[in-house]
Each structure stands twice: as C-alpha cells, then as structure tokens.
C-alpha cells in the first residue's frame, strides 16, 4: 500500500516527494532586524518594506504545517551579547549606519535577547517549535541543527525566509551537502533585491535540481490537505 503521508508536490525541475512526518519547515530569519525599519537590514541601506509581501502566505503555510503536527524550525541570525561569536570580518565589513552590537532603535543590532532580534509577531514560534540561534548566514554552522534533525529522523527540508540569496540560500546549500532534499518556496522567501531572488530560484533548480527544488506554497498546502 502506498504511504498515505507521502506528498507529491508539483515543483521545479520536477515533482518534490516527501513524507511530512520526516520533513521540517525551516523558516529563516523572519526577525524584526531584517523585516522592520531600524534593524540590521536597514542599516545596510536596504528598503526593508519589500520583505512584507511574503508574510501572509508564510502565515497560512505555518498554520497548516502546525495543524499537520509536523516539525517547525525557526532561525535567528544572532550573536552573544559579548560578540564572542561575531568575527571582526563580519562586524567590520562595509560602511553600515550601525554595526552588529551597536545600539539601535530596536536594541543592539543582531544581538540575542534584544527586541530587534525577535521573530516578527505574525510568525512567532509556538511552544515545542525549534528556535535556532545562528551566528553565521547558514543554519548549520555552529548550531548543532544537523544532529537534532538526524535524531528526529528528518530527511527533507522545506524552506522559507529572508533573505533569499543570503541566509536562505546558504542554509539550503548547507542542508543539501548534508544529504537533505530541499524545497524552496518562492512565495515564502524574499530579498531586498528582486533580481537576486529570481536568480537564486533559478540557480537552486538548475541542472536537474543541483541543490534543490523550487515550488509554490499553494501546491504544498493542497498536498498536505490531501495526505
Ligand atoms: C543577511 C539574512 N542578509 N538573514 N542575513 O545578512 O539573510
């Protein structure tokens, strides 16, 4: 008998198959520091309002994923208050208005526990969901995430989050190298640079899905409902 929990989701470059009991929804860095004025994203000179467009679709997906009882992983790009996990190369890069660790309108930029470092209210983690604080762009660097996913029997990862070409793409590539099949949802990820989003989606699925699949949340929702 066919596995009733198996989902066959229309995707590119071809259908993405996964059992939601072995799949985690990974939401990357939906933090005020990236999504709202006064945070890290804006200090780098970006128009942060561009990122708001993906919140409704991500909320709908998150609600359905929760209802299915499947694993949700939230990440935050964040550093310890003493910045011992922030290499000078990261802190001193470029000419931002405020650097990591500086005081801003939402507290210290990209520092754990500060208001700006929290995930936006609309997508706030619920009890039992994993919240991974990561000092790098990738979710697997210095976090122990791989071991936790392995212990939980997770083989597939569905990604949303910001920004597409930085922390989302880095995390997806790290995951691919660790043996996970990865689906990037195009309506649940956004960039400050629309052309970078388009390019990232194309890169991920090129060459027969060289590092993963891309798809739409509506197609995932339909399969989740069916299974
Ligand atoms: C950036 C991220 N863009 N979450 N971080 O620095 O993509």
What is the residue-level pLDDT of the chain in tens, covering all 227 positions? 688 899 999 999 999 999 999 999 999 999 999 999 999 999 999 999 999 999 999 999 999 999 999 999 999 999 999 999 999 999 999 999 999 999 999 999 999 999 999 999 999 999 999 999 999 999 999 999 999 999 999 999 999 999 999 999 999 999 999 999 999 999 999 999 999 999 999 999 999 999 999 999 999 999 999 98
For ligand 1, atom 4, the nearest C-alpha belongs to 167
Contact by Cβ (8 Å): 145, 132? yes
Q: Is the pTM for the entire model greater than 0.95?
A: yes
151: closest CA among 135, 176, 125, 130? 130
Distances (CA, A) of 203 to 55, 173, 186, 210, 213: 24, 11, 13, 8, 10
Tokens standing for 111?
A: 């520092």
Atom of ligand 1 nearest to the CA of 28: 4
Contact by Cβ (8 Å): 120, 30? yes
Contact by Cβ (8 Å): 201, 184? yes
- Rg of the Cα atoms in the chain: 17
Q: How far apart are CA 166 and CA 199, in angstroms?
A: 12
Whether 165 lines ligand 1, by a CB cut-off of 6 Å, is no
- The Å distance, Cα 79 to ligand 1 centre, comes to 13
Q: Name the DSSP class of 94.
A: S
Whether 167 lines ligand 1, by a CB cut-off of 6 Å, is yes
């Amino acid at each position: 008998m066919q596995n009733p929990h198996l989902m066959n989701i229309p995707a590119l470059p071809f259908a993405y198959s996964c059992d939601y009991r072995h799949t985690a929804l990974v939401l990357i860095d939906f933090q005020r520091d990236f999504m709202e004025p006064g945070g890290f994203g804006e200090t780098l000179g970006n128009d942060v309002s561009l990122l708001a467009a993906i919140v409704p679709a991500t909320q709908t997906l998150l609600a359905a994923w929760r209802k299915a009882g499947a694993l949700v992983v939230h990440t935050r790009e964040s550093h310890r208050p003493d910045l011992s996990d922030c290499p000078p190369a990261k802190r001193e890069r470029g000419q931002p208005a405020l650097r990591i660790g500086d005081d801003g309108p939402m507290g210290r930029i990209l520092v754990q526990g500060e208001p700006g470092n929290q995930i936006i209210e609309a997508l706030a983690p619920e009890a039992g969901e994993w919240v991974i604080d990561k000092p790098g762009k990738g979710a697997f660097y210095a976090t122990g995430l791989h071991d936790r996913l392995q212990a939980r029997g997770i083989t597939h990862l569905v990604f949303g989050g910001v920004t597409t070409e930085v922390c989302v793409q880095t995390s997806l590539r790290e995951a691919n190298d660790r043996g996970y099949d990865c689906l990037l949802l195009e309506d649940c990820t956004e960039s400050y640079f629309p052309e970078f989003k388009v390019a990232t989606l194309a890169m991920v699925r090129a060459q027969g899905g060289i590092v993963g699949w891309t798809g739409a949340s509506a197609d995932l929702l339909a399969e989740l409902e069916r299974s």
